[in-house]
Structure 1
Amino acid sequence: MKKLIFFTLLFSLFWVGNHAFAQFGEPEVQEKEVPRNLYDEGYRTGFGFNFSLNDFGVGAGGQFRFGLNSYTEALITLKMTGLKDPTEQTFIDYTFGFKTVPEKYQRVMAVPLYIGLKKRFFADEISDNFRVYSSLSAGPTFAVSYAYFNDVTENGFRENDTGIYGRSERVNDVFSGWGDSETHWGFGGEFVIGVDFGEKFANLSSVQFGYTMNYFSDGIQVLEPCQPDLSRINQQPVNPCGFSDINAVPVLLGDGSVGQAPLEKANDPRKYFGTAQITFIFGWMW
């Protein structure tokens, strides 16, 4: 009887110990989930409309995407955007609502065509509905510059005060001034970091932050090329800033007579245009 009790207790202790070990032992190893990607699920081509905001204003266009492998895509981006001199300041007449930019000479519209590569990162660490990527693109840029104001005297300077110049040359709206337009060819590019959202790969929804730039070797005359020196009335101009037959601006003097203010070089053509940018892309994949 004693032996039976001994073996019963021994068996009970063994069973309890084994059960406790099973509870506090290491859990079973689970296999890591393989990240999903567009390429392996058959989404090799995409198109989206892009809308961008930067220091120059707004831009809009389209973007094609072509899958190269599981996490790499080729990009073709075409858009239209404005270009400005970074020193420009806009002033508003709150009485009549007019906007004016001092020293502005030409508006510039650019149409860059960028070709680049897009690479997804952290696919194993971040959920598939928040796909982080980076891209680098470059390509040619076509630009058109046109007159910001109606330069009646054709002296490269806006006479905007009737009390000084006897006239005020009218600022063109965005649809006017094309008769004095010029075309330019340059080169540009952009670097971005962005995120593709959503678990449904057929829908394209992205937001990206980056830097975009354009370079024109001959430059674009965005600001007035010359300005009158009102401190040197009736003196000979030192630098007529490229206008061979126009060297001075008529000004009204205090005694009612008319004097001549010599023109001086004011602003050089701008070659480089760069700005930070945020872009939203909406479209679809197939």
Structure 2
Amino acid sequence: MKKLFLLSLAIFALLLPSSVLAQFGEPEIRKKEVPKNLYDEGYKAGFGFIFGANDFGFGVGGQYRRVLSRYTEAHLSFKISGLKDPREQVFIDYFFGTKTIPNKYKRVVSFPITLGMKKRVLAEEVSDNFRFFGSFSGGPVFAFSYPYFNDRNRNGFRENNPQAYDTFERPNDILTGWSDGDWHLGLTGSAEIGIDFNANFANLQSFMFGYNFYYFDQGLQILEPSQPQLDDTGNPRYENGELQITNNYAPKKFYGSAQISFVFGWMWD
């Protein structure tokens, strides 16, 4: 019995140091997994259709994306959208369905072409099917302006009341006046934050919110450059049968607006 006790004591003494070390030693370091991303999943490029809206109206276009690294992409975008002066006021007759825009002089359609970068953020904190990112882009914008009405006497003002003026100038429909239009070249840029949805990286589904601007060095004359002079009774003043006018709105160079955009498309390797 004594020998058995001594043998048990010896075995316990040998095991004790290793147990203590196992209990108080540092735990094994586990390697942190890299979040799923387009680069590691083998997707190198993609294309999507853009649908957006801002203070100037609605726009559509396309976007090509190129994957550069795990969390970085480059993108090339082309859009077609309306452009209006923020000072415009629209009045709608809901009974007859007619729309009136006082002082409107030109309609404008813009064609921005931008090159930008997109960077995923919070990749380790947020799940892979809800990928936050920041993006910025810039490039040239081509704008086409054409008459809102047929300015017969070329005075830069629409005579819209037959009782007050010698002539009456009707607004053009949206497809009229293109032959009298002009092209303008400017700069555009945007800064956005957004989310890429869907755990299936082959499907491109993005929502973006940000700020977009246009700049034209010569300005765009979207509102009427002239207005009639009035006599003491408040009526338009004529001299030798010609309406007397004075300056009104100057060309506007800078246009800025908040915007939201949606992109739907696909990625490939």
The normalised TM-score by structure 1 is: 0.81
CA distance in 2, matches of 1:38, 1:221: 45
**Superposed displacement of residue 73, structure 1:** 0.6
SS in 1 for 2:74: strand
Q: Which runs of 4+ in 1 moved over 4 A?
A: 26-31, 248-251, 258-261
Give runs of aligned pairs for residues 154-193 of structure 1, distance below 5 A: 154-193=154-193
CA distance in 1, matches of 2:221, 2:231: 25
Contact 1:141–1:214 (Cα < 8 Å) also in 2: yes
CA distance in 2, matches of 1:113, 1:213: 13
CA distance in 2, matches of 1:75, 1:36: 20
Give runs of aligned pairs for residues 4-153 of structure 1, distance below 5 A: 31-153=31-153
CA distance in 2, matches of 1:66, 1:76: 9
In 2 relative to 1, CA 225–249 (structure 1 residues): closer, same or farther, beyond 3 Å? farther
Contact 2:229–2:237 (Cα < 8 Å) also in 1: no
1:188-232 CA distance string (max 9 Å, x none): 111110100010000000000011111110111100010101136
**Superposed displacement of residue 259, structure 1:** 6.4
**Superposed displacement of residue 95, structure 1:** 3.7
Aligned partner of 2:255 in structure 1 is: 273
SS in 2 for 1:268: coil
Q: 5+ unaligned residues in a row in structure 2: which ranges?
A: 1-18
**Superposed displacement of residue 151, structure 1:** 1.2
**Superposed displacement of residue 179, structure 1:** 1.9
CA distance in 2, matches of 1:147, 1:261: 20
Of stretches 51-60 and 159-168 in structure 1, the one that deviates more from structure 2 is 159-168
Aligned partner of 2:4 in structure 1 is: none
CA distance in 1, matches of 2:117, 2:95: 50
Contact 2:85–2:222 (Cα < 8 Å) also in 1: yes
CA distance in 1, matches of 2:95, 2:127: 54
CA distance in 1, matches of 2:231, 2:256: 35
1:68-99 CA distance string (max 9 Å, x none): 11111111010011111111011112342111
Count of equivalent residues: 258
In 2 relative to 1, CA 66–280 (structure 1 residues): closer, same or farther, beyond 3 Å? same
In 2 relative to 1, CA 74–157 (structure 1 residues): closer, same or farther, beyond 3 Å? same
CA distance in 2, matches of 1:180, 1:232: 37
* Aligned partner letter, 1:219: G
* Aligned partner letter, 2:261: T
1:247-276 CA distance string (max 9 Å, x none): x9759xxxxxx9655210001111111110
Contact 2:230–2:237 (Cα < 8 Å) also in 1: no
SS in 2 for 1:285: strand
* Aligned partner letter, 2:250: D
Give runs of aligned pairs for residues 208-247 of structure 1, distance below 5 A: 208-231=208-231
Aligned partner of 1:13 in structure 2 is: none
CA distance in 1, matches of 2:143, 2:196: 30
Query: How many percent identity over aligned positions?
Result: 53
CA distance in 2, matches of 1:200, 1:207: 16
Aligned-CA RMSD value: 3.1
The normalised TM-score by structure 2 is: 0.85
CA distance in 2, matches of 1:201, 1:273: 35
CA distance in 1, matches of 2:243, 2:171: 22
